[in-house]
Amino acid sequence: MQKILLLNGPNLNLLGTREPQQYGHTTLADVEASFSAAAARHGYEAECFQSNWEGALLDKIHEYGRLYKAGQALGCVFNPGAFTHTSIALHDAIKGVDGLPVIECHISNVHAREAFRHHSWVSPAAAGIVIGFGVDGYLIALDGLVRKFGAVA
């Protein structure tokens, strides 16, 4: 069974515990459970990984680049958190693994927020982008990944 990576960046472990007006009441554990169930319905095994460390996110992208090349992974849904707006390293990692489809996902509509959230270093390397649908965006991104890159039944 091919794998799909759900990757979350800094502070997303706090989901559902603070700033509910911005990010809702759903916890990261809830998101990961519904993502894994939806991936299984599509016939994929989800791996969920969150880190507050940029290097750990880079290592996970590299690992999935290798799995993708071996035909063992379909792609990745990635909310890079605030690293979205700062990390050329994440941009380079996604470009560097050459082919792994990464769907960038943001819970909030970053374009309706502060100007410093309007630019993403990840977007030019992403295969698709889902923004502003709350935590449902993770499932929308999963559907998009499977529809665009999954095997045709």
Known catalytic residues? 23, 106
CA dist 16 → 31, 98, 107, 111, 144 (Å)? 10, 34, 12, 22, 25
Tell which positions 117-136 bind ligand CA2, by CB under 6 A.
Answer: 117
Select the span of 49-57, 66-74, 80-88, 91-99 touching ligand CA2 (CB under 6 A): 80-88
By CB under 6 A, is residue 31 in contact with ligand CA2? no
- Report the interhelical angle of 54-69 vs 88-96 (nearest 10°): 10
- Letter string b/e over residues 67-76, b meaning 16 or more CB atoms within 10 A of that residue's CB: bbeeeebbbb
Q: Is 107 in the site for ligand CA2 (CB under 6 A)?
A: yes
The residue within the footprint of ligand CA2, chosen from 2, 38, 63, 110 (CB under 6 A), is 110
Assess 35 for contact with ligand CA2 (CB under 6 A).
no
* Contact set with ligand CA2 (CB under 6 A): 11-12, 14-15, 18-19, 23, 79, 81-82, 84, 106-108, 110, 117
